[in-house]
Amino acid sequence: MTGVWLQGLAGLLRARASWLLGLKPYGIGRAYADGLAKKGLNVVLISRTQSKLDTAAGEIEAKYKVKTKTLAVDFGKADSATWSMLKAELAPLAVGVLVNNVGVSYPHAEYYEAIDDQLIDDLININIQATNKMTRIVLPGMKQRKKGAIVNIGSAAATVAPSGPLYAVYAGTKAYVDMFSKSLDLEYRQFGISCHNQAPAYVATKMSKIRKPTMDAPSPANWVKAAIAHIGYEVTQCPFPYHGAMWGIVSSAPLSVVNLYLLHFHLLLRKKYYKKLEREAAKTKGQ
Ligand SMILES: NC(=O)c1ccc[n+]([C@@H]2O[C@H](COP(=O)([O-])OP(=O)(O)OC[C@H]3O[C@@H](n4cnc5c(N)ncnc54)[C@H](OP(=O)(O)O)[C@@H]3O)[C@@H](O)[C@H]2O)c1
């Protein structure tokens, strides 16, 4: 197996018989796996549900004629045995691209003191710890081969937005992803490895609860098409053009105005959530 080759000029990533490691086969993760398999990379898919992994792997193999490997892992419950298993399973593969896509968010906008302890643990274990551990597993091989890309999926919640009121822990984990990516990129570019924080704003997935893609909330496939074209370039990216334009506008607006907008928008989302709960409770009572 050979490693990946990052083609600078066109910004396209090409690989022959190398491995993309994609966390989560659905939503953005699945679209990433499809996008890179289309370019000839073999893929390792990691998420919790073996049956879903099998379906995704079968579809990818049939459509793109690449090899796949699946590993069922719950990153919220990963312990030292999990990391050792992943290290052993990935050791024989020349991983060229690691996509640290796995991430969870709040179920709804909420004040910090009202969120569950379990949610805080999940946010830290899944959004931060999985990124750390997976990166440490693949980095030595990339360094030895003098090529590779670590693609961390961040969020506009910490890249475009200057604050994340009522999503404080989520925004904090994604700010970690940004600083981690910037620092790692400086450490490892000299060894032929680039590191990125690719930050989406809304994308139409289960997490965003947006079913139909729109101009500002693209389908995972459209977001990923832009994201793949940005691998090998700048560290912090808002690869989808509409999101990039939003970033430009937000950065040039006064900070106090943006913060006030974010607070009110998220308070409105919280209010809507509780109104919906009230409606559902009233409906159940009436039955
Ligand atoms: N969608 C957006 O609008 C948006 C915006 C900004 C940033 N992002 C970021 O983009 C990334 C991908 O988001 P998405 O919208 O594609 O998410 P998503 O639709 O919620 O993706 C769900 C996938 O993640 C897997 N998964 C969930 N918890 C897991 C765990 N504990 N261990 C292993 N796998 C797990 C699920 O598979 P199983 O259920 O089979 O495990 C499922 O396939 C995240 O990092 C997110 O923070 C998304």
pLDDT of residue 287: 73
Distance in Å, CA 48 to ligand 1 centroid:
11
pLDDT reported for residue 20: 57
Instruction: Please indicate whether residue 274 is annotated as part of the active site.
Output: no
pLDDT in tens, 168-200: 999 999 999 999 999 999 999 999 999 999 999
Query: What domains can be seen in the chain, in order of their start residue?
Result: 4-254 (3.40.50.720)
The pick from 23, 32, 44, 48 for probing ligand 1's pocket by mutation, whose C-beta has the most ligand atoms within 8 angstroms, reads 48
- Return d(Cα 243, Cα 183) in angstroms, integer: 24
Q: Which one of 26, 106, 167, 170 is the catalytic residue?
A: 170
Calculate how far, in angstroms, residue 93's C-alpha sits from the geometric centre of ligand 1: 24
The closest of 110, 136, 138, 141 to 123, measured between CA atoms, is 110
**Which residues, given as ranges, of the chain have pLDDT below 70?**
1-26
Spell out where 124-279 has E strands.
148-153, 193-198, 236-237
Q: Give the separation between CA 157 and CA 219, rounded to whole angstroms.
A: 18
pTM of the model: 0.92
Count Cα atoms within 13 angstroms, Cβ side, for 136: 8
**Rounded Cα–Cα distance for residues 184 and 232 (Å):** 14
pLDDT at 19: 59
State residue 285's pLDDT score: 83
Name every protein residue with a CB atom under 6 angstroms from any ligand 1 atom.
Answer: 24-29, 47-49, 52, 73-76, 101-105, 126, 153, 155-156, 200, 202-203, 205-208
How many angstroms separate the CA atoms of 188 and 135, rounded?
12
Q: In whole angstroms, what is the distance from residue 261 CA to residue 186 CA?
A: 34
> How many other CB atoms are found less than 10 A from the CB of residue 65?
9
Would you state the structure tokens that stand for residue 202, as one six-digit string? 């809304």
- If you compute the radius of gyration of the chain from its CA atoms, what whole number of angstroms results? 19
Cross-strand pairs, 82 = none
Per-residue pLDDT at 32:
96
Is residue 89 a contact partner of residue 19, using CB atoms and an 8 Å limit?
Answer: no
Strand bridging mode 95-100 / 4-6: unpaired
